C-alpha cells in the first residue's frame, strides 16, 4: 500500500545506522458507574458541547424527510436512507453516508472494505464493527484527529466520495470543511520549560489573543528572546516573522490526486483500493519526510504560563481552534539523549507500526491516544515510542503491579541500561543514573500529596523540576478523573502518549482527553486482530442460572442495596461455576474465575478448594499463586477479585468465568475479556478461548449484564445465551445439591449481609497498602481505612483500583433528603443547631 513510505517506525527505533432498558429496582446510589466515575462538571462539559453544537447535524431534513408512507421505514428512524439517490455503480462501492447525523455504514464484505476501513478509522469514530456491517460516525473530534495525522479536508471529501454509494451530501462537505478549517493550525510547543502557542497564520493568534481567558494566561517575553511576541510588538504582529522557521504544523499536504465529487484527474486516477487510499494517506506519510525540501514558512508565537495550559487548551477547543501538540525531538539539543534502542528480536506487528506511524508521521512526535485491544501489545507500542524519541520518559500506571511489569518489559524489549530505568512506588524511590532515564510510577503516587514522605517529596521535586521528552499514560481513560488531570501539566513534557483498550467512561469525561492528552491517533479493530491471530478468538456466553426458591424469596424481601449477595451466592450459579470449571479443566484449559465480591470470592474458592487472590493477599502469596497457576499442572483454576481486571499478564489462561461484577461497567467487561485474549494456544487452528458470564435469572443482574456487554458487542463479539448446562445434574460431588446444604448457605449469606450492612470496608491497593478483612484493618500505617455508610460495592473487591474516587457530586447524590433522615440523625442535627445558637 504505502509505496512511497521511506522509513518504518521500527527502523526509526532501531540502532543507527541500522440500547437503553428500564433500570431495575435498585436505589440510584448503587449504580456502579455513578460510583466509579464522576458526573461531568457542567462548565467543562459545556465547553465541549458548545463546539459539538456548532458543528452538529440538524436541520429540516431530519424531520421532513423520514418517509411516512410505509410502516417499515419508520423503524429505521434517522437511519432511513431510501430518499437518497444512489450512484449508477453503487453496488461496487461499500459505503453509505447519512446526511442527518454523519453516520457511515460500511459493507465489511466488500473487496474495498479493508481500504475503506483504514480510511474511516483515520477520519471517523468506530461505533460498532460486527461481522457484516460496520458503523462509524464523523465527529468534530474525529476530524481533528484526521487533520492532525496529515489529512486534508479536500482529500477526505474526495475519498469519501470514491467509497460512497451516494454523492456526498452538501451537509457533510460543509461539516468537514467547518470542522477542519482551523484544526491543526495552532500548536502548543514546549521550549526551554516554557509553553508557546505557535502558528504560521498570524490572524489565528490574533483571534486567540483577543479572548480574555487566553490573554490572561499569556506571558510577555523579552525582545529578542527567540520566538516570543513582546508586549510592545503585540498589536502589530505582522512584523513578527521568524525567518527560516519550518512549516509550523509540520503537516505536509500531499499532491492532490483525487478531487471532490468524483471530478478526478483521469490520468492520475488510482486503479485499486490500495492505490486510492495510498493517494491520500500513505503518499503523505512518504512525503512528510521530505521536510527539508519544503519551502520555509514563517511561524508566529506567544508564550503562556504552565499553570494556564489546561485553561488555554480548553478555551481554544471552545473557540474551535484545538491545539496541536508536536515535539521536534530530533532537533532538541537542550534535553539529554537517552541511549536506548529496540532489541533486534522486537518485531513490531503491522498494527503496532501503523499506530506509531500516526504519532511520528512527519518526523515529529504528536501527542495523542492509541487504542488497541487488551493483550494486543500496548506496552511495546509505548516502548517503541520511547526508543524513537530517545529522551527521558515518565510512565504512569494504575497499580504497583503494572509498574514492575512495565519496567520488566522495557528491559526485555529495549537496550536500556537497568540503572537508567527507576521505579517510584511506596517501596522504591530510586532515581536513575545519568542525565537521562525513565521513571515508572503510578497515578496515585504522583497525585497523593497528603501522606507524602520526605523521600517521596524529593522524588516529586525531581519529576516536576525538569523537562521530559515523553509522558506515557497507561490506561489513559483514568486521566479525566479530577485527581489525575492536574498532574498532566505539573510534569513538563514535550509529548504525551495515552494507551488504552477501552476509551470509555460511564461519565462523559472521555472527551476531555482531547485537550488533556490529544486526539485519538489510532484505534484497532478487535475482530480483525483476532482473525489474524494476534489476539485469541473468544466464544462469549451468558449463562442464565435460575434462583432457588429460598434465595429468591430473600432477594425479594430485601432492600435493593442488600439484594446483590443473594444473586451472587445463588446455589444454582455456584453449581454452574463448578460444572464449567470441571468441564474446562478436563479439556486442559486454565481457568480464571472473577468475583468482585470478596465474600463470594472466598466462599466459592474455599468450597471448591481453589486458590484465590484479592486486595488483601500479600504480594509474595499473589506471586506464588500466579506462578503455580502458570506452571503447575495441578493448579488449573484461580479465583481473582477486581485486582485482576487489568494489567495481569497470564498468557496461559484460556477460560474465564465471571460470577460477580461491578454492576453495568462496560469497561470492566472488556478488560476482563482481555485476560484471555493473550491465550498462548491462540494460533492453533480451531482453538477458542471462552468467556462465561453467570447471571441469576429474573434479578437486577440481568439488566447489568446486558449493559456490560454493549461495548464488546460493538466490537463484534456475539454473546450466546445458555439456559441449561447439559449434564450438570450428573456432576459427581455437585455442591448444594440438597435442601439442607442450600439452607446452610442461605444462613451464612444472611449473616454476612447483616454484619456488613453498616460498615463498608473499602479495599485499597495503591501504594502497596491493602485491607485485611481478617484483621479488619489496613496493613499499612496512615489514614488508609475508609469507613462510611452502607454500600454494597464495598463488600466487593470493586474499590481496589487506583482510579476509584468519590467526588463532591457523588456525595451530594448520596445525601438523604432532610425529611427522610432517620431519628438519630435528626436529633444529632438539631442538637448541633441548638448548640450553635447557644
Ligand X SMILES: Nc1ncnc2c1ncn2[C@@H]1O[C@H](COP(=O)(O)OP(=O)(O)OP(=O)(O)O)[C@@H](O)[C@H]1O
> SS3 string of 606-630?
HHHCCCEECCCCCHHHHHHHHHHHH
- Alpha carbon separation from 642 to 449, 475, 568, 616, 645 (Å, rounded): 26, 15, 15, 12, 5
Here's the x/- map for ligand X, 582-611, by CB under 6 A: it reads as ------------------------------
CB of 172 to ligand X, least distance (A): 34
Q: How many residues bind ligand X (CB under 6 A)?
A: 18
Give me Rg for the CA atoms of the chain.
Answer: 28
Determine the interface stretch with ligand X among 34-42, 370-378, 542-550, 726-734 (rule: CB under 6 A): 370-378
Is there binding between residue 308 and ligand X (CB under 6 A)? no
Which of residues 116 and 471 has its CB atom nearest to ligand X in the complex?
471
DSSP tag of 434: S
67: left (phi over 0), alpha (psi -120 to 50) or beta: beta
* CA separation for the pair 41, 511 (Å, rounded): 12
Mode of pairing for the β-strands spanning 771-772 and 777-778: antiparallel
Determine the interface stretch with ligand X among 169-177, 205-213, 643-651, 707-715 (rule: CB under 6 A): 643-651
CB of 413 to ligand X, least distance (A): 8
Of 116, 126, 139, give the one whose Cα is nearest residue 49.
139
Candidates 647, 660, 696, 753: give the one binding ligand X (CB under 6 A): 647
Which of residues 126 and 377 has its CB atom nearest to ligand X in the complex?
377
Mode of pairing for the β-strands spanning 493-500 and 365-366: unpaired
Is there binding between residue 649 and ligand X (CB under 6 A)? yes
CB of 478 to ligand X, least distance (A): 13
Is there binding between residue 678 and ligand X (CB under 6 A)? yes
Is there binding between residue 674 and ligand X (CB under 6 A)? yes
Tell me the residue nearest to ligand X as measured from the CB: 377
DSSP tag of 18: -
Which of residues 302 and 522 has its CB atom nearest to ligand X in the complex?
522
* CA separation for the pair 45, 32 (Å, rounded): 21
Helix (H, G, I), strand (E, B) or coil at 304: strand
CB of 390 to ligand X, least distance (A): 20
Candidates 372, 460, 603, 673: give the one binding ligand X (CB under 6 A): 372
Which of residues 343 and 786 has its CB atom nearest to ligand X in the complex?
343
* CA separation for the pair 461, 577 (Å, rounded): 50
CB 198 within 8 A of CB 298: no
Is there binding between residue 641 and ligand X (CB under 6 A)? no
Helix (H, G, I), strand (E, B) or coil at 754: helix
- Alpha carbon separation from 151 to 154, 354, 454, 480, 659 (Å, rounded): 9, 15, 49, 28, 46
Candidates 374, 513, 516, 638: give the one binding ligand X (CB under 6 A): 374
Of 729, 727, 708, 371, give the one whose Cα is nearest residue 540.
708
Interaction with ligand X in 376-395: which residues (CB under 6 A)? 376-380
Which of residues 363 and 716 has its CB atom nearest to ligand X in the complex?
716
CB 377 within 8 A of CB 352: yes
Interaction with ligand X in 102-141: which residues (CB under 6 A)? none
Which of residues 103 and 708 has its CB atom nearest to ligand X in the complex?
708
- For residue 619, count other CB atoms closer than 10 A to its CB: 13
Which of residues 26 and 653 has its CB atom nearest to ligand X in the complex?
653
* CA separation for the pair 300, 196 (Å, rounded): 10
Candidates 286, 361, 375, 664: give the one binding ligand X (CB under 6 A): 375
CB of 658 to ligand X, least distance (A): 16
Q: Which three cell numbers stand for residue 733?
A: 460431588
Interaction with ligand X in 492-521: which residues (CB under 6 A)? 501
CB of 4 to ligand X, least distance (A): 25
Which of residues 300 and 407 has its CB atom nearest to ligand X in the complex?
407
Which of residues 12 and 159 has its CB atom nearest to ligand X in the complex?
12
- For residue 723, count other CB atoms closer than 10 A to its CB: 10
CB of 201 to ligand X, least distance (A): 39
Which of residues 273 and 501 has its CB atom nearest to ligand X in the complex?
501
Is there binding between residue 705 and ligand X (CB under 6 A)? no
- Please state at what angle helix 113-123 crosses helix 140-148, rounded to 10 degrees: 100
Of 508, 467, 541, 632, give the one whose Cα is nearest residue 38.
508
Here's the x/- map for ligand X, 322-361, by CB under 6 A: it reads as -------------------------xxx--x---------
Which of residues 194 and 667 has its CB atom nearest to ligand X in the complex?
667
Which of residues 156 and 513 has its CB atom nearest to ligand X in the complex?
513
* CA separation for the pair 152, 146 (Å, rounded): 8
CB of 480 to ligand X, least distance (A): 18
List residues near ligand X by CB under 6 A: 347-349, 352, 372, 374-380, 501, 647, 649, 651, 674, 678
Amino acid at each position: 500500500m504505502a509505496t512511497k513510505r521511506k522509513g518504518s517506525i521500527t527502523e526509526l527505533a532501531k540502532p543507527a545506522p541500522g440500547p437503553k432498558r428500564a433500570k431495575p429496582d435498585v436505589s440510584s446510589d448503587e449504580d456502579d458507574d455513578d460510583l466509579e466515575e464522576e458526573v461531568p462538571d457542567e462548565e467543562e462539559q459545556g465547553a465541549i458541547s458548545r463546539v459539538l453544537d456548532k458543528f452538529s447535524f440538524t436541520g429540516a431534513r431530519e424531520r421532513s424527510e423520514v418517509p411516512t408512507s410505509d410502516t417499515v421505514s419508520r423503524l429505521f428512524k434517522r437511519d432511513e436512507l431510501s430518499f437518497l439517490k444512489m450512484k449508477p455503480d453503487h453496488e461496487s462501492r461499500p459505503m453509505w453516508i447519512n446526511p442527518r447525523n454523519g453516520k457511515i455504514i460500511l459493507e465489511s464484505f466488500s473487496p474495498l472494505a479493508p481500504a475503506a476501513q483504514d480510511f474511516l478509522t483515520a477520519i471517523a469514530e468506530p461505533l460498532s464493527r460486527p461481522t457484516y456491517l460496520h458503523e462509524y460516525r464523523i465527529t468534530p473530534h474525529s476530524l481533528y484527529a484526521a487533520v492532525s495525522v496529515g489529512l486534508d479536508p479536500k482529500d477526505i471529501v474526495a475519498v469519501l466520495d470514491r467509497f460512497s454509494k451516494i454523492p456526498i451530501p452538501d451537509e457533510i462537505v460543509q461539516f468537514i470543511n467547518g470542522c477542519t478549517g482551523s484544526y491543526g493550525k495552532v500548536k502548543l510547543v514546549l521550549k526551554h520549560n516554557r509553553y508557546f502557542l505557535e502558528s504560521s497564520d498570524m490572524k489565528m493568534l490574533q483571534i486567540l489573543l483577543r479572548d480574555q481567558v487566553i490573554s490572561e494566561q499569556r506571558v510577555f517575553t523579552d525582545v529578542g528572546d527567540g520566538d516570543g511576541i513582546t508586549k510592545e510588538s503585540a498589536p502589530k504582529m505582522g512584523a513578527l516573522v521568524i525567518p527560516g522557521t519550518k512549516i509550523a504544523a509540520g503537516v505536509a499536504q500531499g499532491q492532490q490526486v483525487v478531487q471532490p465529487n468524483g471530478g478526478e484527474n483521469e490520468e492520475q486516477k488510482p486503479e485499486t483500493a490500495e492505490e486510492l487510499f495510498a493517494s491520500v494517506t500513505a503518499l503523505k506519510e512518504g512525503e512528510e519526510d521530505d521536510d527539508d525540501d519544503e519551502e520555509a514558512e514563517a511561524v508566529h508565537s506567544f508564550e503562556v504560563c504552565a499553570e494556564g495550559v489546561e485553561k488555554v487548551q480548553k478555551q481554544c477547543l471552545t473557540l474551535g481552534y484545538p491545539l496541536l501538540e508536536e515535539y521536534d525531538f530530533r532537533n532538541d539539543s537542550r534535553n539529554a539523549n537517552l541511549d536506548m534502542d529496540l532489541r533486534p528480536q522486537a518485531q513490531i506487528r503491522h498494527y503496532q507500526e501503523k499506530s506509531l506511524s500516526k504519532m511520528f508521521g512527519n518526523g515529529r512526535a504528536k501527542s495523542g491516544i492509541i487504542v488497541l485491544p487488551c493483550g494486543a501489545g500496548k506496552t511495546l507500542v509505548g516502548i517503541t515510542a520511547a526508543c524513537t524519541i530517545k529522551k527521558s520518559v515518565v510512565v504512569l500506571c494504575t497499580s504497583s503491579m503494572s509498574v514492575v511489569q512495565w519496567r520488566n518489559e522495557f528491559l526485555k524489549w529495549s537496550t536500556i541500561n537497568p540503572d537508567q530505568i527507576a521505579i517510584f512506588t511506596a517501596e522504591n524511590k530510586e532515581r536513575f543514573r545519568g542525565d537521562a532515564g525513565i521513571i515508572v510510577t503510578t497515578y496515585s503516587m504522583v497525585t497523593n500529596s497528603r501522606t507524602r514522605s520526605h523521600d517521596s517529596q524529593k522524588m516529586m521535586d525531581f519529576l516536576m523540576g525538569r523537562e521530559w521528552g515523553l509522558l506515557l499514560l497507561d490506561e489513559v481513560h483514568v486521566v479525566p478523573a479530577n485527581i489525575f488531570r492536574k498532574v498532566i501539566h505539573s510534569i513538563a513534557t514535550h509529548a504525551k502518549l495515552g494507551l488504552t483498550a477501552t476509551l470509555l467512561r460511564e461519565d462523559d469525561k472521555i472527551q476531555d482527553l482531547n485537550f488533556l492528552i490529544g486526539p485519538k491517533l489510532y484505534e484497532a479493530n478487535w475482530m480483525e486482530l483476532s482473525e489474524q491471530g494476534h489476539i485469541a478468538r473468544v466464544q462469549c456466553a451468558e449463562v442464565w442460572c435460575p434462583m432457588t426458591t429460598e434465595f429468591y424469596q430473600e432477594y425479594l424481601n430485601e432492600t435493593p442495596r442488600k439484594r446483590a449477595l443473594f444473586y451472587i451466592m445463588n446455589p444454582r450459579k455456584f453449581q454452574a461455576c463448578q460444572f464449567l470449571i470441571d468441564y474446562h479443566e478436563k479439556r486442559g484449559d486454565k481457568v480464571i474465575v472473577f468475583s468482585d465480591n470478596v465474600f463470594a470470592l472466598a466462599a466459592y474458592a474455599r468450597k471448591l478448594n481453589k486458590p484465590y487472590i484479592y486486595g488483601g493477599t500479600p504480594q509474595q502469596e499473589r506471586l506464588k499463586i500466579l506462578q503455580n497457576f502458570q506452571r503447575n499442572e495441578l493448579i488449573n483454576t484461580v479465583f481473582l477479585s477486581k485486582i485482576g481486571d487489568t494489567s495481569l499478564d497470564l498468557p496461559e489462561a484460556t477460560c474465564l468465568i465471571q460470577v460477580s461484577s461491578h454492576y453495568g461497567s462496560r469497561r470492566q467487561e472488556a478488560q476482563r475479556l482481555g485476560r484471555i485474549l493473550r491465550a498462548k494456544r491462540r494460533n492453533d487452528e480451531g482453538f477458542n478461548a471462552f468467556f462465561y458470564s453467570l447471571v441469576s435469572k429474573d434479578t437486577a443482574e440481568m439488566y447489568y449484564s446486558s449493559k456490560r456487554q454493549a461495548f464488546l458487542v460493538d466490537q463484534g463479539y456475539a454473546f450466546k445465551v445458555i439456559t441449561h448446562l447439559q449434564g450438570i445434574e450428573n456432576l459427581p460431588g455437585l455442591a448444594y445439591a440438597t435442601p439442607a446444604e442450600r439452607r446452610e448457605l442461605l444462613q451464612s449469606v444472611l449473616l454476612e449481609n447483616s454484619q456488613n450492612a453498616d460498615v463498608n470496608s473499602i479495599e485499597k491497593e495503591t501504594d502497596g497498602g491493602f485491607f485485611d478483612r481478617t484483621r479488619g484493618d489496613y496493613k499499612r500505617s496512615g489514614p488508609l481505612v475508609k469507613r462510611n455508610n452502607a454500600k454494597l460495592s464495598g463488600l466487593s473487591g470493586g474499590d481496589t483500583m487506583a482510579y476509584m474516587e468519590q467526588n463532591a457530586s457523588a456525595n451530594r447524590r448520596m445525601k438523604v433528603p432532610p425529611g427522610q433522615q432517620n431519628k438519630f440523625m435528626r436529633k444529632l442535627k438539631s442538637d448541633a443547631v441548638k448548640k450553635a445558637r447557644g
